[in-house]
Structure 1
């Protein structure tokens, strides 16, 4: 069963995390991109934390 977001904010956060995951996969094929991937992982983790806050506050 697919995950259904509880709010419009959750939908945005899910979409943003998905886009970052796609960028990470693409950048994995490019040499010397480790520092960029590290930054993207950091942003992804921050989005995940924000998403967790919204999930807790959703009915």
Structure 2
């Protein structure tokens, strides 16, 4: 991964998103998991939005 977190919160969000990515890959190999994968993608997107907010705040503080 080429991105280095700016804060502990960002690190936690990155780790959580990576875990969801792993779960999505595993679920893709199982039948009848479409709904679960959709739910995980929605959660991933919510985490990404939180991460974007944290990154923006961190950039404001360093600017």
**Which stretches in structure 2 are left out of the alignment for 5+ residues?**
none
TM-score by length of 1: 0.96
2:37 maps to 1:37: yes
Regions of 4+ moved over 4 Å: none
Report the alpha carbon displacement of residue 32 of structure 1 after superposing the two structures with TM: 0.3
**Which stretches in structure 1 are left out of the alignment for 5+ residues?**
none
Deviations 1:9-33 (A, max 9, x none): 0000000000000000000010000
Separation of aligned partners in 2, 1:31 and 1:11 = 32
Separation of aligned partners in 2, 1:43 and 1:52 = 14
Q: RMSD of the alignment, in Å?
A: 1.1
Report the alpha carbon displacement of residue 52 of structure 1 after superposing the two structures with TM: 0.2
TM-score by length of 2: 0.90
Select the structure that is richer in helix: 2
